[in-house]
A and B are shown apart, each in its own frame.
Chain A
Amino acid sequence: MRRYIGLEGVCKDYSTRHGSRRVLDKVSFELDRGGHLGILGRNGAGKSTLIRLLSGAEYPSSGCIRRHMSVSWPLAFTGAFQTHLTGIDNLKFVCRVYGVDWKPLLPFVEDFTELGIYLREPVMTYSTGMMMRLAFALSMAIEFDCFLIDEGMAVGDTRFGDRCHVELFEKRRDRSFILVSHDPHIIRSYCNRVAVLHMGRLYQFETIDAAYEFYGSHEVPAPAVRFD
């Protein structure tokens, strides 16, 4: 069976004090396993909303999302940690949720995070960098067909960045990525398909250069107050 994720006419509305606001407007695309899609968008274009819908944390207001392959949680996402628990407890939790045995993964997590004894301390004692390393290691510990990446990859020192690069973009090259960012350079180096999210609409282009040209020439105005 074909493995892909497909969005069809996906809309997302949020209610604000000035009435309902459409953040995503009829977004459609398909991505097969192995495809590397970059989505460019400025602040407020709807990138994070799209990631929340793709991961399944939120549902579309209309339209539908078909997942015919496993989709990760947003890469290196630290928000789902229970900070009173240790790093290992959090590893165990994630493994239980995805039905994976945690013991064989421990050496990889120990090696990758370089947390040493802190892996057995509560996550609330971690620095931001330590938390990032743990989050990234957990993302790599569970195997997915498609990884969701919400910018932020530039966090951490260069050495850690390089190791992330190897784990994700080299060792897992055969998987799909959906990378959202406002930075064209990141997307150019990792993706073979680019789309632009502009004011809630997704524009797809034949060539990467055409996408950049469009992105460079479209600004996002501040969300307007509607009086109707």
Chain B
Amino acid sequence: MTSLRQSFAIQRRVIGALLMRELITRYGRHNIGVLWLVLEPLAFTVGVATLWSLAGMANRSPMPIVAFAVTGYSSVLLWRNTVSKCNAAIEQNFNLLYHRNVRVMDVFATRILLEIGGATASFMVLTLALLLAEWVEPPQDALKVIAGWLLLAWFGAALATFIGAAASFSEIVDRVWHPISYLMFPLAGAAFMVDWLPPAGQEVVLWLPMVHGVEMVRDGFYGHLMRTHYDVGYLVTANLVLSFLGLLLLRLAGRRAKSH
């Protein structure tokens, strides 16, 4: 029998071991894989900014288009990549469960931490580079940006736990998730500001917890130029409920995991 404190120490050690294993595997020793972490969102940001300038929108709206593009895409990574990495996590890592100390929870935590870490690193590097190039203004409220980002990261972790655990029950979950994640991409704030929508539309998109997170991050960046719409209480509540359901489902999933 192990006490709670011992269990906590073991779990920290195991997650550390899994993180090292994944990091070396992914970014290797002779590989520039880690660069893609920044290049991919950079390509998107440049693409969106270019399209908007060509369309002449940049002159008509007071909104800083580059800041809009970078916050939009980076925040999508927080929930899209975490979920896609967790969907096959149990199946792909089943053999690790032969090590008594490794539980499905550790496998999930590792993947989620890596994705959130990667998205955060790319967001930071990209923002820094754009600041230096003077393509974006410094955020007018950096603390708000960080708080919004952390709440979004929490949402991504909870969603990944919930959907990843559900995916181990039926492969339909993963199949359905793909079209949904594509549809969500523009809906979840990458393509618009809530303020642009008619009131009825605003009400609909504000059901999506991630919209609140993106709006909050944008409020931190350029809230003095544009109106943003979000409710921190709603996002926190959604996160709590989703985390609870996700952990419950993951516990069930761990108990019925089997070799293939």
Q: A71-B100, A97-B99 are in contact. List 16 more A-B contacts (CB 8 A).
A: A56-B98, A57-B98, A59-B254, A67-B100, A70-B100, A77-B95, A77-B98, A79-B95, A79-B98, A80-B96, A84-B28, A85-B25, A92-B20, A93-B21, A98-B101, A99-B10
Majority-rule SS of B interface residues? helix
Q: Which residues of B contact A (CB under 8 A)?
A: 1, 10, 13-14, 16-17, 20-21, 24-25, 28, 94-102, 254-259
Instruction: Give the residues in chain A near B14, CB-CB below 8 Å.
Output: 96-97
Q: How far is the CA of A92 from the CA of B13 in the complex (A)?
A: 12
A-B pairs with beta carbons under 8 Å apart, 5 shown: A59-B256, A67-B100, A80-B96, A80-B99, A89-B24
Instruction: Give the residues in chain A near B17, CB-CB below 8 Å.
Output: 93, 96-97
Q: How far is the CA of A59 from the CA of B94 in the complex (A)?
A: 13
Q: How far is the CA of A74 from the CA of B16 in the complex (A)?
A: 23
B95 and A80 contacting across the interface, CB-CB below 8 Å: yes
B255 and A59 contacting across the interface, CB-CB below 8 Å: yes
- For residue A105, CB closer than 8 A to chain B, the reply is no
Instruction: Give the residues in chain A near B101, CB-CB below 8 Å.
Output: 97-98
- For residue A55, CB closer than 8 A to chain B, the reply is yes
Contacts known (A57-B259, A93-B20); A99 close to B96, Cβ less than 8 A: no
- For residue A82, CB closer than 8 A to chain B, the reply is yes
A20-77 contacts to B (CB < 8 Å): 52, 55-59, 67-68, 70-71, 73-74, 77
Q: How far is the CA of A67 from the CA of B2 in the complex (A)?
A: 11
Number of interface residues of A (CB under 8 A): 27
B13 and A99 contacting across the interface, CB-CB below 8 Å: yes
Instruction: Give the residues in chain B near A227, CB-CB below 8 Å.
Output: none
User: Which of A58, A74, A77, A92 has the most B CB atoms < 10 Å from its CB?
Assistant: A58
Q: How far is the CA of A57 from the CA of B96 in the complex (A)?
A: 8
Contacts known (A14-B258, A82-B25); A55 close to B100, Cβ less than 8 A: yes
B10 and A58 contacting across the interface, CB-CB below 8 Å: no
- For residue A208, CB closer than 8 A to chain B, the reply is no
- For residue A94, CB closer than 8 A to chain B, the reply is yes
Instruction: Give the residues in chain B near A85, CB-CB below 8 Å.
Output: 21, 24-25
Q: How far is the CA of A56 from the CA of B255 in the complex (A)?
A: 10
User: Which of A71, A94, A97 has the most B CB atoms < 10 Å from its CB?
Assistant: A97
Q: Closest chain B residue to A67 by CB distance?
A: B100
Q: How far is the CA of A99 from the CA of B21 in the complex (A)?
A: 15
